[in-house]
Amino acid sequence: MVSAAGRRAIIVGGGIAGSVLAMFLQRAGLEPVVYEGRSAPEDEAGYFLNLAPNGLAVLDALGLKDEVLGHGTPTTSIVFQNHRGKKLGELPESTLLIKRGLLNGALREAAIRRGLPVEFGKRLKGVEISPDRSVTARFEDGSETEGDLLFGCDGIHSRTRRSIMPDAPEPRYTGLIDSGGYARGVSIPSSDGVMRMTFGAEGFFGYQVVPSGEAYWFENFRHPSQPDRTELEAIPDGRWQRRLLGLHRQDHPPISEIIESTTEIGRWPNYEMPSLSSWHEGPVCLIGDAAHAMLPSAGQGASMAMEDAMVLAKCLRDIPKAHDAFPAFERLRRDRVEHAAGEARKNGSRKAPTNALTRAVRDLVLPLFLKMSVKKAREAHSYEVD
């Protein structure tokens, strides 16, 4: 395989990872084209995330940090409470609370301004690697495109991964269902940068009221059997709202008010990606959630994907052969992302509601755990790609 510089790069997935990778590959001398499965931009769809300082550092390298900051609200600390509203501890934080659609849109438009093509309505059907090591992406609309390299930036349910690694493990259901939304017209004052998280009697609930008055909130509850996402989405919002209100009937009052003030409630099964033996096959490489999706409790999914993009572009710029660059990328990234995934798994296990005795024990030990978490968070957030 020849040098990656000047080669045509197919990027499957026009989300956060895809747009950031396209911009870095362009700087590394490649010719990327982004193919997105949705028929048109959906910048108002979806929910929100917290973008960590290490992710903002990647955007700073692209000259986009200030633009993205303008779309979000800082989170300066996280206060943990029990179901009665008693404060159990506080964790200093320095992240950006931002709607996923606004972040997606800002990154995509930045890529387009730099002359990078983004094609919509291109849902991947399959990937084929030819004997000469070029790669063809075939789409459900009957079209296809050929390139020298292909990058799977298509998330935890990656079609790229399934096509090139048919024996790879499937995403693993964690036993939790997530919900989330935006409550408007609540009587709760602006949070002044504080996100409040509650270990409820039957579920975990977090929220932050931004200066506009909207309450951004999420909820997790234990559900042993894996539900079908389509069936979940088909449940009327009113019915799902009543279910969440029932789960949090024993919890302190702001939670019920926030749920009642939300007209559209998203819900989805919570998955994580088992460790893959490899993130690449021939001229195809996976990044972000397609390679190593972790639980949302890490608060690192988007930031890790952006780090991936920057490191991968550096490898392709600096290592003459792409088939050497991909293993180098994986060696540089695997320990970091698997450590973050492990921490997320530990954090997620503490959310599960338990009986009164184990809740009391948790309330006693949580302050100690939070003190330990401060150091770990600083280490994760201070990381910068050289």
pLDDT tops 80 at residue 4: no
Q: How confident is the model at residue 379 (pLDDT cuts 50, 70, 90)?
A: confident
What burial class does residue 244 get, using C-beta atoms within 10 Å of its C-beta: 0-12 exposed, 13-18 middle, 19+ buried?
A: buried
From the list 322, 324, 326, 330, the residue with the least C-alpha distance to 292 is 330
Between these two residues, 239 and 342, which has the higher pLDDT value? 239
pLDDT in tens, 94-131: 999 999 999 999 999 999 999 999 999 999 999 999 99
Distance of CA 97 to the CA centre of its chain: 13
What ranges do the domains of the chain cover? 8-72+100-171+273-351, 172-271
* Share in percent of the chain as helix, strand, coil (round to 5): 40, 25, 35
pLDDT tops 80 at residue 369: no
Mean pLDDT of 174-196: 94
Between these two residues, 86 and 123, which has the higher pLDDT value? 123
Q: What is the pLDDT of residue 168?
A: 96
For 90, residues 6+ apart whose C-beta sits below 8 A from its C-beta are: 77, 78, 79, 80, 370
Beta-bridge mates of residue 181: 217
Structure pTM? Answer: 0.92
Q: Specify the fold of 8-72+100-171+273-351.
A: FAD/NAD(P)-binding domain (3.50.50)
Between these two residues, 44 and 69, which has the higher pLDDT value? 69
pLDDT tops 50 at residue 1: no
pLDDT tops 60 at residue 271: yes
CATH number of 172-271: 3.30.9.100
Are 138 and 55 in contact by the 8 Å Cβ rule? The answer is no
Q: From CA 299, how far away is CA 302, in angstroms rounded?
A: 8
Q: What is the pLDDT of residue 2?
A: 47
Q: How confident is the model at residue 229 (pLDDT cuts 50, 70, 90)?
A: confident
